Amino acid sequence: MDTSSALSIRPVRSRRDFHDFVNLPRGLYRDDPAWVPPIWLAEPGEYRPSGNPVLARSEHELFLARRGDLAVGRIVAYVDPRFNGYYRSRVGFFGAFECRDDVEAARGLYAAAEAWMADRGMESSRGPIHPSAECWGLVTGGFDRPPVFLSPHNPAYYTALAEASGYEGVKDLLSYEADSGAGYRIPERFSRFAALHAARFPGLSTRRIDLGSLDRDALHILRILNEGVAENWGYVPVEADEMTTVVRKLRPFLDPDAVWFVEDGGVPVACCLGFPDVNVAIRAMRGNLLPLGFLRLLSVRRRVRDYRLWGLAVLPAWQGRGLDVLLYMRLFEALAPKGVRLEANYILEDNLRIRNALEKLGMRPVKTYRVYEKALGR
């Protein structure tokens, strides 16, 4: 691209700057057939504390890069007191990074975010971790595959921009796929596993989510997630406001066949949360809800073939007893008649227990998301 115009990096202060910050991806991804736009009507609220619980509790700054009058890049820097309190750390985060293939602009954006973090006593910068969209890392391969809902997508050159700015990969997150339309089936031996498991643990039962008691079941999911994955890298206990935000986003599209509990005597001890990939509809309508977009979104639950497994957790006392496999089997058996393509992410590269379970079930890795980190002051 033309880099002859003068580069400026500045915090977003004006209405015009905010507009250009929000809308920068429109031009950047115009010719990318795999890109899925955000829901434009809701997108401004993602960068305001009133619409974003993470930014509401976190000191933050939006930065915009311009060459002359043209917006060419953006980044949000934030300090999450809940994360740093939980880990007793001084980690600053960046997210919403978008930039043209312009090393100087990328370095300038990263440098502005890092200086802002350092001024607040942070010792390292980590990301990209979007403060609201649950998008972690940069995609390092599979750029021709559209992202599932609440997962990132980026041009191939983003990793080079991060590394040219001094960032190193700190953790890889993996995505696994099972496509029944392409012939995937749960291996036969797992049918025997289910029968043996039922005989060994007769007090256990499985059930779908109860849409009539959604708020109650959301609290069960919150409790199981917070206790079951507390040791996972980077995890911070989810608060009720964050769970409310996730439920609000997913409520119109929830499919009871995709959310399951394992119960011990009627008390939930494990859960998995999947949902239809509404990105299929969002991409078709180019992110525009009006005038009929919302009706098209609501129809997705009945027609969509692509699903995402967003989370799976087992309470510590029940880990190692095959409940993760049992949940996956119930989930896939319920969805298989729809001919689903199921994508499970984000799986930590060193979470060998879950990786082994998915691979034994015949799922195959299809994408990697890399989280980067850089020590500040060097």
The vertex-37 CA angle with 35 and 43, nearest 5°, equals: 150
d(CA 367, CA 294): 29
Q: Give the number of residues written for the chain.
A: 378
Residue among 244, 371, 269 nearest 324 (CA)? 269
pLDDT at 4: 72
d(CA 313, CA 322): 12
Element (H, E) at 342: strand 341-348
pLDDT at 66: 97
d(CA 59, CA 120): 9
pLDDT at 310: 87
Report H helices in the chain. Answer: 15-28, 53-57, 81-87, 103-119, 158-164, 189-200, 214-228, 240-250, 279-284, 293-303, 323-335, 352-360
Domain ranges, ordered by start, for the chain: 7-173, 185-362
pLDDT at 52: 86
pLDDT digits (tens), the chain, 378 positions: 666 789 999 999 999 999 999 999 999 999 999 999 998 888 999 999 988 888 999 999 999 999 999 999 999 999 999 999 999 999 999 999 999 999 999 999 999 999 999 999 999 999 999 998 678 999 998 888 899 988 999 999 999 999 999 999 999 999 999 999 888 998 888 888 888 888 999 999 999 999 888 888 988 999 999 998 888 898 888 777 777 667 766 777 788 999 999 999 999 999 999 988 888 878 877 777 766 566 666 666 567 889 999 889 999 999 988 899 899 999 999 998 888 999 998 899 998 888 988 998 899 999 999 999 999 985
Buried b (16+ CB within 10 A) or exposed e, 130-155: bbbbbbbbbbbeeeeebbbbbbbbbb
pLDDT at 303: 74
pLDDT at 198: 87
- Identify the three-state secondary structure at position 94: strand
Q: How many secondary structure helices (H) and strands (E) does the chain include?
A: 12, 13
Token digits of residue 351: 């979470």
Q: Decide if 7-173 and 185-362 have a common fold.
A: yes
pLDDT at 192: 86
Give every CB contact of residue 23 below 8 A, 6+ residues apart in sequence.
none
Answer CATH for 185-362 from 3.90.1640.30, 2.60.40.10, 3.40.630.30, 3.20.20.140: 3.40.630.30
Contact assessment for residue 64 and residue 73, using Cβ atoms and an 8 Å cutoff: yes
pLDDT at 60: 97
d(CA 275, CA 93): 28
d(CA 277, CA 344): 12
CA pseudo-torsion sign 171, 150, 140, 377? negative
Identify the architecture of domain 7-173 in CATH. 3-Layer(aba) Sandwich (3.40)
Around Cβ 327, how many Cβ atoms within 10 Å? 23
